[in-house]
């Protein structure tokens, strides 16, 4: 992995399921040159793996905080993770 890239796991809270949030996250990822994946979690959150430069991640984060029009994001937990530990096939939407 490029040393200029960061890898983070995000847990998005609020009204984020059944509102098109994962597809919104994929479109936003493309705009910000982010690679990763998203999945719905049983607790009603959406988990996102985001890989990109620090500035691209920040732009993507701002979009995620807004979400699609039917969503209501209350907060996002962000955790740095090691790129080597990611298993994207566990996610239902890769981008």
Q: Is 15 a catalytic residue?
A: no
* Catalytic member of 22, 27, 72, 78: 22
From residue 21, how far is each of 4, 43, 78 by CA, in Å?
28, 15, 17
Tell which wins on pLDDT, 74 or 87: 74
Q: Is 40 a catalytic residue?
A: yes
For residue 90, what are its two tokens? Answer: 């566990």
CATH fold of 6-94 reads Alpha-Beta Plaits (3.30.70)
* Catalytic member of 11, 33, 39, 40: 40
**In the predicted structure, residue 90 carries a pLDDT above the cut 90:** no
Amino acid 3: pLDDT: 63
Residue-wise pLDDT for 1-59, tens only, equals 666 999 999 999 999 999 999 999 999 999 999 999 999 999 999 999 999 999 999 99
3-class secondary-structure state, position 33: coil
pTM of structure = 0.92
The H or E element spanning position 64 is helix 54-66
């Amino acid at each position: 992995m490029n040393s200029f890239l960061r890898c983070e796991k995000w847990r998005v809270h609020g009204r984020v399921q059944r509102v098109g949030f994962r597809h919104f996250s994929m479109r936003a990822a493309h705009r910000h040159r982010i690679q990763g994946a998203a999945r719905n979690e049983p607790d009603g959150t959406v988990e996102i793996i985001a890989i990109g430069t620090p500035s691209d991640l920040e732009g993507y984060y701002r979009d995620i905080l807004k979400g699609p029009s039917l969503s209501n994001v209350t907060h996002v937990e962000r955790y740095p993770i090691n790129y080597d530990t990611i298993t994207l096939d566990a996610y239902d939407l890769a981008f």
